[in-house]
Amino acid sequence: MNKKRMWSAALLLMLVLSTVLAACSGGGKESSGSTKDTLVFGRGGDSTSLDPSRVTEGETFKVTVNLYETLLNFGEQDTTIQPGLAKEWETSEDGLTYTFKLEEGVKFHDDTDFNAEAVVKNFERWANGDADKFPYYNSMFGGFKGDEGHVIDSVTADGDHTVIIKLKRPQAPFLKNIAMSMFAIASPTAFEKGDDQFERNPVGTGPFKFVDWKTNDSITIEKFDGYWQKGLPKLDKIVFRSIPDNSARLNALIAGEIDLADGINPADGEKIEGNADLQLIERPSMNVGYLGLTVTRPPFDKKEVRQAMNHAIDKQTIIDSFFEGRADLAKNPMPSSISGYNDDIEGYEYDPEKAKELLAKAGYPDGFEMELWAMPVPRPYMPDGAKVAEVIQSNLADIGVKAKIVSYEWGTYLDKAAKGEADAFMLGWTGDNGDADNFLYVLLDEDNIGSNNYTYFKNAKMHDLFIEAQTEVDEDKRIELYKQAQEIIHEEAPWVPLAHSTPLLAAAKDLTGFVPHPTGSDLLSNVEFK
């Protein structure tokens, strides 16, 4: 009797469950068709602010590059200088005066006129700030009003549509700096209401205007009808969704809940190429992943040991196994797309015998013991730190070096590495403005020890070359200076440069007009669905 009742109860339960599930399917796959004027862009994290001048973090720029515009733009897929809000510009002979002719008839989203006065007010806002408020302005223009190192002397309006910027001394990458998305021109009416208010209510001249922000979830922007470039943008609405897990983000793309996904694991590349509904998109590389050798810690104070490390590591295997071949083997600290790249340098070939010889020469014929720091987080330039570390560990074992792999939580890792506590550590860098200075000087000069020069490497001759290059306006001469610097870096070998990876994105098959930018901030005004 009891058994019978239990059976019927179980049957009933199954019936209810299957009804519920069947009902669920009624909603079906999130429908396309009528919704194809909206793009849903899935990415790993949320923005921290929508005022690009106040942050240094890439997720913010991904959104703001569509809300605001800069005086100059980068090229579609490179960092050459192109017209932006300024249609023409002139540089004086001495490299001290820049004259920008502005586009006319441009309006901000709040109907304020874009003109020379608005540009001046933006520059005044930054110059009167401090490093806490405008961190990027500080690093790109050498400080603020009244500071010794501040490069900008004055920014003035000449009539309604001409802006003149005078510099105290020439700055070679000045135009590239102006084109960076953090120096976007914002509506003075909006930011004069207060900076904190403005961060959550951005107003620019861009193709899209801000609608809504649900923290850690989504940011919605919509077409700005008064946009000055006719026919753009093509989409009505863009939703940026934060989906932290790479696999879950890919699942959401396959299920059709998002149309475009950033941060695709290299290992998933093939799966996407085999899916008829999806397309795989490669972002042009502007990064470097490397193994840094802290030159203040023996035995890495010896040049031969550092060179031996370069010979010992099998970069090609690392690239084939963990970047799925989607990376270029690195021999310099910057990728070849950056002007000033020295292609004449011959990279250290993988040669354990030679490495052993060098070790013997340095006085370590039997090798030594060291700590090898493995990156705890995946980054485009290092998709799987722990596994790459294992390969390096076994490479080093071949030349008699016993490496112990250690890892810390990311914040701790950076902090300890910056203090010079690591023997050898994995790290990388994605360029901001595509200038050689932004790689070589920032990562390897003595001025940046304690911040981004984690190896504590110092070289007086190289330092002079960098300083000279910063003010050299003649492009050819400047390239020559950087080429020389790379020779010194190659010879001294403070790094084992590993790879310049190609970050991957994936999109629905019918998405067109998406052109990924090497800086990671993608302008979406040309995107549409076929």
Establish if 384 lies at the interface with another protein (CB under 8 A).
no
Choose among 230, 175, 400, 375: nearest CA to 291: 375
| Cα gap 98→110, rounded to integer Å | 29
Which residue in the set 241, 356, 490, 517 belongs to the binding site for another protein (CB under 8 A)?
A: 241
Shortest Å distance, C-beta 46 to another protein? 8
C-beta neighbour count of 316 within 10 angstroms: 12
Site of tokens 């870096």? 489
> Of the candidates 76, 90, 153, 196, which one interacts with another protein according to CB under 8 A?
196
Contact 254, 280 (CB under 8 A): no
Which is closer to another protein, CB of 131 or CB of 397? Answer: 131
Site string for another protein, 143-162 (x = CB under 8 A): x-------------------
Which residues, 6 or more positions from 170, have their beta carbon under 8 angstroms from its beta carbon? 94, 95, 96, 471, 472, 473
With CB under 8 A as the contact rule, the residue among 4, 25, 146, 369 that binds another protein is 25
Q: Return d(Cα 86, Cα 162) in angstroms, integer.
A: 9
Residues 406-425, one symbol each (x = binds another protein by CB under 8 A, - = not), give --xxxxx-xxx-x-------
Tell me: does residue 21 bind another protein (CB under 8 A). Answer: yes
Residue 358's beta-bridge partner residues?
A: none
- How many residues touch another protein under the rule CB under 8 A: the total is 66
- Work out whether the CA dihedral 199, 202, 208, 212 comes out positive or negative: positive
Q: Are the C-beta atoms of residues 221 and 237 closer than 8 Å to each other?
A: yes
Is 28 or 231 the residue whose CB approaches another protein more closely? 28
What's the closest the beta carbon of residue 194 comes to another protein, in angstroms? 12
Q: Residue 41 or residue 108: which is nearer to another protein going by CB?
A: 41
Q: Which two tokens stand for residue 64?
A: 């703001």
x-or-dash pattern for another protein, window 54-93, by CB under 8 A?
--xx------------------------------------
Q: Which of residues 449-478 bind another protein (CB under 8 A)?
A: 450-452
CA distances from 261 to 42, 62, 246, 381 (A): 5, 13, 9, 18
Site string for another protein, 89-128 (x = CB under 8 A): ----------------------------------------
Q: How far is the CB of 261 from another protein (least distance, A)?
A: 11
Q: At what angle do helices 303-312 and 352-361 cross, to 10 degrees?
A: 170
Tell me how far, at minimum, the Cβ of 25 lies from another protein, in Å: 4
Q: Which is nearer to another protein, 302 or 458 (CB)?
A: 458
> What are the CA-CA distances from residue 326 to residues 14, 115, 265, 266, 329 (Å)?
48, 44, 11, 7, 10
In whole angstroms, give the CA distance from residue 31 to residue 255: 10
Q: Does 245 bind another protein (CB under 8 A)?
A: yes
Closest distance to another protein from the beta carbon of 529 (Å)? 13
Candidate residues 432, 435, 437, 522; the one interacting with another protein per rule CB under 8 A = 432
* 3-class secondary structure, 281: strand
Candidates 19, 30, 82, 111; binder of another protein (CB under 8 A) is: 30
Least Cα distance to 460 among 441, 438, 445 occurs for 445
Is 246 a binding residue for another protein by CB under 8 A? The answer is no
Q: What is the dihedral of CA 330, 336, 341, 346, to 10 degrees?
A: 40
- Closer CB to another protein, residue 292 or residue 299? 292
Task: Report the candidate in 43, 75, 68, 66 with the shortest Cα–Cα distance to residue 53.
Answer: 68
Q: Is 243 in the site for another protein (CB under 8 A)?
A: yes
Residue whose entry in the numeric block shows the structure tokens 């922000």: 213
**Whether 185 contacts 114, CB under 8 Å:** yes
Task: List residues binding another protein (CB under 8 A).
Answer: 2, 5-6, 9-10, 21, 24-25, 27-30, 35, 38, 40, 48-49, 56-57, 130-133, 135-136, 138-139, 143, 196, 199-200, 212, 214-218, 220, 239, 241-245, 247-249, 251-252, 254-255, 257, 408-412, 414-416, 418, 429, 432, 450-452
